[in-house]
Amino acid sequence: MLGWVIAGHDDYAQKMLDAMEQRFGPQPQCCAVNFWKGMSTNMLSRMMCDALYHCDSGDGVIFLTDITGEAPYRTAALLSHKHEHCEVISGVNLPLLCAMREQRESLSSEAFRLLIVEQGEEAITSLWHQQQKNPPFVLLHPF
């Protein structure tokens, strides 16, 4: 099963998880990380790292963030590069998470990324999709 780390500003993440648990019961391998005003990005990174390892059973972890490019998204992007089968999704909302929750059990992290971006249409993107639009700089002629 894919682990989920829901991360966002203020109480966004906890509200999303609470609403899912109220509707469907406890969500295994799922954590909420709130990025409060005044919190350092170092503290956010530590909390998200703890959540990543808490949620990972070996199948992979999906970071679900509120806004592309903001601190939770950037922190997830950095952590994802150090962890195999880790994806970063942004723009998530409660109806989409409810619709996608059962897919955690059967899809790989890569397949989940493709499906959630497709289901969410223009509102949802992923780190992978952003990197396809803006590939990293490659030095063609070494010094």
Q: How far apart are CA 19 and CA 37, in angstroms?
A: 22
Q: Which has the closest alpha carbon to 62: 121, 9, 11, 127?
A: 127
Q: Report, as residue numbers or ranges, the catalytic residues.
A: 9
CA separation, residue 34 to residues 27, 76, 113 (Å): 17, 13, 22
Q: Which has the closest alpha carbon to 60: 94, 107, 28?
A: 107
HEC secondary structure over 11-56: CHHHHHHHHHHHHHCCCCCEEEEEECCCCCHHHHHHHHHHHHHHHC
- The residue count of the chain comes to 143
